[in-house]
Amino acid sequence: MADQNQDKITIPLLQARKTVGPRIVCLTAYDHPTAKILDERGVDLILVGDSLGMVVLGYENTVPVTMEDMLHHTRAVSRGVRRALVVGDMPYFSFHLSREETVRNASRFLKEAGAAAVKIEGASAKRLKLVEALVEAEIPVLGHVGLTPQSIHRLGRFRVEGKAIDGALKIIDDAANLERAGAFAVVLECVPVEVADKVTRALRVPTIGIGAGPRCDGQILVFHDMMGYSTGFFPRFVKKYARLHETMGRAVAAYAVDVRKGSFPDAATSYHLKPEVASELGKRGRKK
Ligand code: KIV
């Protein structure tokens, strides 16, 4: 019997891309129809990011996102994916209390939501121990250094990390420590090109950049940002490939005009009785 999973993206396949290419294409998704589009168009890794909180749930930052939010959306994404590797993002406070709770929460992405791996922000000594525990429990981990949005209240604002020498060296160390702890790849968010380049050349595992320049082994963007679906402030690294907010806004306005003037629904978008039933109904239907 033919192996239906033969073109399925696996972690070893992604890791091999570091040496043989091509670059790893990643995007976020939070729902089934979007996941289907990404998968059909050959996106290699789909991250159900906790950016969900900002671009879909309307929160100001990612801190309020819960495990239940993440599992709900990861399930919807997984149901739309055949080929890509689905990664679930560990939300704030799902990995902060104990090693046991971290492993239990992470395992839910694999057991209940169809993900193949989890992403976890940060690389403190305590975080590295958690990465080791997850890998030990057969849960592949995507690391995440540079700007870590869950630290918003400590950082005060989102900004480029590693611009001064100490910060740059810390990012390089953090990424190397994550590799040593067993991460299968590392996201570099909002760091200077030169730092991302140094990390990419130092690591054996792939780097996935977002706002980290062109020299990473792969790239990721938030779907709603690159589609011009979300609104508000966009950092310079967001390239917009569509203007969905405007396109959808125009469609909604056209619908409203049609409804108000009575041109929708029309005959073509309505159901009709057969003439004989319509005539009978005319005779027997209750009169006003
Ligand atoms: O939550 C998210 O979407 C992310 C990506 C920006 C890497 O962490």
Together in a domain, 236 and 222: yes
Number of domains comprising the chain: 2
Together in a domain, 232 and 115: yes
**H helix runs in the chain, sequence order:** 11-20, 32-40, 52-55, 67-79, 99-111, 125-136, 152-155, 165-181, 193-202, 223-226, 244-261, 275-284
Which residues are the active-site residues? 189
Rounded distance from Cα 149 to ligand 1 centre (Å): 8
Q: Is residue 16 part of a domain?
A: yes
Q: Is residue 234 part of a domain?
A: yes
Together in a domain, 251 and 155: no
Rounded distance from Cα 73 to ligand 1 centre (Å): 14
Distance CA 75, CA 83 (A): 15
Q: Is residue 3 part of a domain?
A: no
> Among positive and negative, which fits the CA dihedral 246, 252, 254, 260?
negative
**For the domain that residue 68 is a member of, what is the CATH number?**
3.20.20.60
Together in a domain, 15 and 115: yes
User: Per DSSP, what are the bridge partners of residue 42?
Assistant: none
State the pLDDT at residue 2: 44
Which domain range does residue 132 map to? 11-242
Residue 87 is inside which H or E element, if any?
strand 85-89
Two structure tokens written together for 18: 């570091």
State the pLDDT at residue 22: 97
Q: Is residue 6 part of a domain?
A: no
Q: Is residue 72 part of a domain?
A: yes
Rounded distance from Cα 140 to ligand 1 centre (Å): 17
Report the predicted TM-score, pTM, of the whole model to 2 decimal places: 0.95
CA distances from 112 to 24, 35, 106, 116, 288 (A): 26, 17, 10, 11, 56
State the pLDDT at residue 152: 87
Q: Is residue 2 part of a domain?
A: no
Residues contacting ligand 1 via CB (< 6 Å): 28, 47, 49-51, 89, 187, 189, 210, 220, 222
State the pLDDT at residue 257: 98
Q: Is residue 4 part of a domain?
A: no
Q: Which residues contact 131 (CB under 8 A, 6 or more apart)?
A: 120, 141, 143, 178, 181, 182, 183
Q: Is residue 59 part of a domain?
A: yes
For 257, what's the count of Cα atoms within 13 Å in the CB-facing half-sphere? Answer: 6
Instruction: Give the residue ranges of the chain where pLDDT is below 70.
Output: 1-6, 285-288
Together in a domain, 230 and 212: yes
- Closest residue by Cα to atom 1, ligand 1, is 49
User: Per DSSP, what are the bridge partners of residue 46?
Assistant: 27, 86
Together in a domain, 97 and 226: yes
- Closest residue by Cα to atom 4, ligand 1, is 49
Together in a domain, 263 and 155: no
Together in a domain, 121 and 258: no
Distance CA 87, CA 170 (A): 25
Together in a domain, 88 and 186: yes
Together in a domain, 183 and 279: no
Together in a domain, 124 and 261: no
Atom of ligand 1 nearest to the CA of 51: 1
State the pLDDT at residue 276: 97
Best mutation site among 86, 147, 187 for ligand 1 pocket (most ligand atoms within 8 Å of CB): 187
Together in a domain, 174 and 195: yes
